[in-house]
Amino acid sequence: MNALEFIVAGMLAAATPFLLAALGEMVAERAGVLNLGVEGMMAMGAVVAFIIVYHGGGHLLGFLAAGLASAALSLVFAIIALGFRANQVAVGLAIGILGQGLSALFGKSYESLTVKGLPKLSLPWLSDIPVIGGLFAQDVIVWLSLAVTVAIWAIFAYTKTGLVVRAVGENPKAAHALGYPVIAVRFAAVAFGGAFAGFAGAYAAVVYTPLWADGMIAGRGWIAIALVVFGTWLTSRIFLGACLFGAVSLASLAAQATGLDISSQLLSSLPYLVTIVVLGVISSNRRLLKLNGVASLGEPFEH
Amino acid sequence: MSASFRPSLPVLIRREHASPAIKLVAPPAALGLATLLNLGLYLLMGRDPGAVFHAMLLEPFLSWASFSEVLLKMGPLLLIAQGLAIGFRAKIFNIGAEGQFILGAIFASAIPIWLPQATGQWIWPAMLVLGALGGALWASLTAFWRVRLNANEILVSLMLALVAAQLLNYLLLGPWKDPAGFNFPQSVMFQYDAMVPILIPGTRVNVSLLIAFAFSLAAWVFMQRSFAGYKLQVGGLAPRAAGYAGFNEGRAIWLSLLIGGLAAGLAGAAEVAGPLGQLQRSISTGYGYAAIIVAYLGGLHPIGIVFSALLMAALYIGGDNAMVSANLPIAAVRVFQGSLLLAYLVAMAFVRYRLEWRHAAHGSTP
pLDDT in tens, chain B (366 residues): 444 455 567 788 888 787 788 888 888 999 999 999 999 999 999 999 999 999 999 999 999 999 999 999 999 999 999 999 999 999 999 999 999 999 999 999 999 999 999 999 999 999 999 999 999 999 999 999 999 999 999 999 999 999 999 999 999 998 999 988 888 889 999 999 999 999 999 899 999 999 999 999 999 999 988 898 888 888 888 888 888 888 888 999 999 999 999 999 999 999 999 989 999 988 888 899 999 999 999 999 999 999 999 999 999 999 999 999 888 998 999 999 999 999 999 999 888 888 887 765 444 333
> What φ, ψ does residue A139 adopt, rounded to 5°?
-75, 170
Which residues in chain B are contacts of A108 at CB distance < 8 A? 329, 331
A83 and A301 in contact (C-beta within 8 Å)? Answer: no
**Looking at the DSSP assignment, which residues form a beta bridge with residue B186?**
B280
A85 and A302 in contact (C-beta within 8 Å)? Answer: yes
Please compute the mean of the pLDDT values over residues A4-24 and round it to a whole number.
94
Q: Does A164 touch chain B (CB under 8 A)?
A: no
Chain A interface test: which of B166, B281, B356 (most A C-beta within 10 Å): B166
Would you call B255 exposed, middle or buried from its count of C-beta atoms within 10 A (0-12, 13-18, 19+)? buried
Summarize pLDDT for A156-181 with one digit per residue, the tens: 999 999 999 999 999 999 999 999 99
Say how far apart CA A126 and CA A264 lie, in whole Å: 35
Summarize pLDDT for A40-98 with one digit per residue, the tens: 999 999 999 999 999 999 999 999 999 999 999 999 999 999 999 999 999 999 999 99
State the virtual CA torsion across B81, B83, B88, B89 in degrees, nearest 10. Answer: 110
Which residues in chain B are contacts of A47 at CB distance < 8 A? none
Q: Does A85 touch chain B (CB under 8 A)?
A: yes
The reported pLDDT for the residue numbered B360 is 53
A179 and B1: CB-CB below 8 Å? Answer: yes
The residue of chain B with its CA nearest to that of A279 is B151
> What φ, ψ does residue B211 adopt, rounded to 5°?
-60, -40
| B residues 333..352 contacting A (CB < 8 A) | 333-339, 341-342, 345-346, 348-349
A104 and B289: CB-CB below 8 Å? Answer: no
Eight-state DSSP code of residue A261? S
The reported pLDDT for the residue numbered B21 is 83
Q: Which of A188, A179, A112, A114 is nearest to A155 (CA)?
A: A188
Q: Does B225 touch chain A (CB under 8 A)?
A: no
| B residues 82..121 contacting A (CB < 8 A) | 93, 95
Cα end-to-end distance, chain B, whole Å:
19
Q: Does B52 touch chain A (CB under 8 A)?
A: no
pLDDT at A127 > cutoff 60: yes
Pairing state between β B10-14 and A137-139: unpaired
Q: Does A109 touch chain B (CB under 8 A)?
A: no
Chain A interface test: which of B45, B52, B94, B342 (most A C-beta within 10 Å): B342
**Radius of gyration of chain A from its Cα atoms, rounded to whole angstroms:** 19
Q: Does B244 touch chain A (CB under 8 A)?
A: no
B112 and B190 in contact (C-beta within 8 Å)? Answer: yes
Q: How far is A144 from chain B (nearest CA, A)?
A: 29
A223 and A18 in contact (C-beta within 8 Å)? Answer: yes
Three-state SS annotation for chain B: CHHHHCCCCEEEEECCCCCHHHHHHHHHHHHHHHHHHHHHHHHHCCCCHHHHHHHHHHHHHHCHHHHHHHHHHHHHHHHHHHHHHHHHHCCCCCCCHHHHHHHHHHHHHHHHHHCCCCCCCCHHHHHHHHHHHHHHHHHHHHHHHHHHHCCCHHHHHHHHHHHHHHHHHHHHHCCCCCCCCCCCCECCCCCHHHCCCECCCCCCCECHHHHHHHHHHHHHHHHHHCHHHHHHHHHHHCHHHHHHCCCCHHHHHHHHHHHHHHHHHHHHHHHHHHHHCCCECCCCCCHHHHHHHHHHHCCCCHHHHHHHHHHHHHHHHHHHHHHHHCCCCCHHHHHHHHHHHHHHHHHHHHHHEEEEECCCCCCCCC
The CA–CA distances, whole Å, from B4 to A179, A239, A244, B360 equal 10, 38, 46, 6
List the single residue in B156, B162, B174 with the smallest CB-CB distance to A263.
Answer: B174
Q: Which of B142, B314, B132, B297 is nearest to B218 (CA)?
A: B132
The residue of chain A with its CA nearest to that of B164 is A269
A283 and B331: CB-CB below 8 Å? Answer: no
Say how far apart CA A76 and CA B34 lie, in whole Å: 14
Would you call A137 helix, strand, or coil by DSSP?
Answer: strand
**Looking at the DSSP assignment, which residues form a beta bridge with residue B280?**
B186
Q: Does A180 touch chain B (CB under 8 A)?
A: no
The residue of chain B with its CA nearest to that of A263 is B170
Q: What is the percent of chain A with per-residue pLDDT over 90, rounded to a whole number?
A: 79
The reported pLDDT for the residue numbered B181 is 83
Residue B211 CB-half CA count within 13 A: 29
Please compute the mean of the pLDDT values over residues A267-280 and round it to a whole number.
93
Please compute the mean of the pLDDT values over residues A31-42 and round it to a whole number.
97
Query: What contacts A262, CB < 8 A, 6 or more positions away?
Result: A255, A256
B331 and A108 in contact (C-beta within 8 Å)? Answer: yes
A94 and B349: CB-CB below 8 Å? Answer: no
Q: How far is A118 from chain B (nearest CA, A)?
A: 30
Please compute the mean of the pLDDT values over residues A258-270 and round it to a whole number.
81
Helix axis angle, A88-107 relative to A38-54, nearest 10°?
Answer: 20
Give the helix ranges, DSSP H, for chain A: 3-30, 38-54, 59-78, 88-107, 140-158, 160-170, 172-177, 182-203, 220-230, 235-257, 264-268, 270-283, 286-292
Helix axis angle, A160-170 relative to A182-203, nearest 10°?
Answer: 110
B155 and A222: CB-CB below 8 Å? Answer: yes
Q: Does B226 touch chain A (CB under 8 A)?
A: no
A86 and B289: CB-CB below 8 Å? Answer: no
B166 and A289: CB-CB below 8 Å? Answer: no
A95 and B342: CB-CB below 8 Å? Answer: yes
Q: How far is A191 from chain B (nearest CA, A)?
A: 18
Model ipTM? 0.93
Eight-state DSSP code of residue A299? -
The residue of chain A with its CA nearest to that of B14 is A302
The reported pLDDT for the residue numbered B5 is 53
List the single residue in B14, B163, B353 with the smallest CB-CB distance to A272.
Answer: B163
Which residues in chain B are contacts of A187 at CB distance < 8 A? none
Q: Domains, chain A, ranges and CATH? A: 3-292 (1.10.3470)
| B residues 117..156 contacting A (CB < 8 A) | 145, 148-152, 154-156
Please compute the mean of the pLDDT values over residues A2-17 and round it to a whole number.
90
B335 and A303: CB-CB below 8 Å? Answer: no
Say how far apart CA B112 and CA B307 lie, in whole Å: 34
A36 and A248 in contact (C-beta within 8 Å)? Answer: no
